């Protein structure tokens, strides 16, 4: 029995400037660039700003989902991206992320 083609990546970025991680308003321009460069189609999105700071953003994609969590107190961002498609080129995703974020990048494929 063959299941669907799924490309699932977990991305953690460390050593980021805490100021860009505090709120939706400060992080979403960076995430929008990632979405554009990855050629993802967003159907819906929602977010929640935590107090005193930090944000979670959920994007429903035409191909599945992208979830972003920030921890400004740890200078860390976590992204979970699942696409119902063939696996994307790993190094191309890393290159896109490096062009947007200046921190230390870890990517795991599930």
pLDDT for residue 56: 99
**pLDDT for 80-100, tens place per residue?**
999 887 666 666 889 999 999
In terms of phi and psi (left: phi > 0; alpha: psi -120 to 50; beta: otherwise), the region of 29 is alpha
Active site residue 69: yes
Among 47, 65, 69, 78, the one annotated catalytic: 69
Among 28, 45, 64, 65, the one annotated catalytic: 64
pLDDT for residue 73: 97
**pLDDT for 31-60, tens place per residue?**
999 999 999 999 999 999 999 999 999 999
Contact 64, 56 (CB under 8 A): no
pLDDT for residue 93: 87
pTM of structure: 0.90
Among 28, 47, 78, 84, the one annotated catalytic: 84
Q: Provide the residue count of the chain.
A: 110
Q: What is the mean pLDDT of the chain?
A: 92
**Choices 3.60.90.10, 3.40.640.10, 3.30.420.40, 3.20.20.70: CATH for 7-104:** 3.60.90.10
Q: Regarding predicted confidence, which is higher, 5 or 64?
A: 64
Q: How many whole angstroms separate alpha carbon 56 and alpha carbon 70?
A: 7
pLDDT for residue 27: 98
Q: What percentage of the chain exceeds 70 in pLDDT?
A: 94
């Amino acid at each position: 029995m063959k299941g669907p083609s799924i490309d699932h990546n977990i991305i953690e970025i460390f050593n980021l400037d805490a100021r860009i991680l505090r709120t939706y308003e400060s992080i979403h321009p960076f995430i929008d660039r990632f979405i554009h460069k990855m050629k993802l189609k967003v159907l819906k999105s929602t977010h929640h700003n935590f107090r005193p700071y930090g944000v979670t953003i959920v994007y429903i994609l035409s191909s599945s989902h992208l979830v972003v969590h920030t921890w400004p107190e740890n200078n860390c961002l976590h992204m979970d991206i699942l696409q119902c498609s063939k696996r994307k080129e790993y190094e191309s995703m890393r290159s896109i992320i490096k062009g947007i974020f200046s921190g230390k990048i870890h990517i795991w494929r599930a």
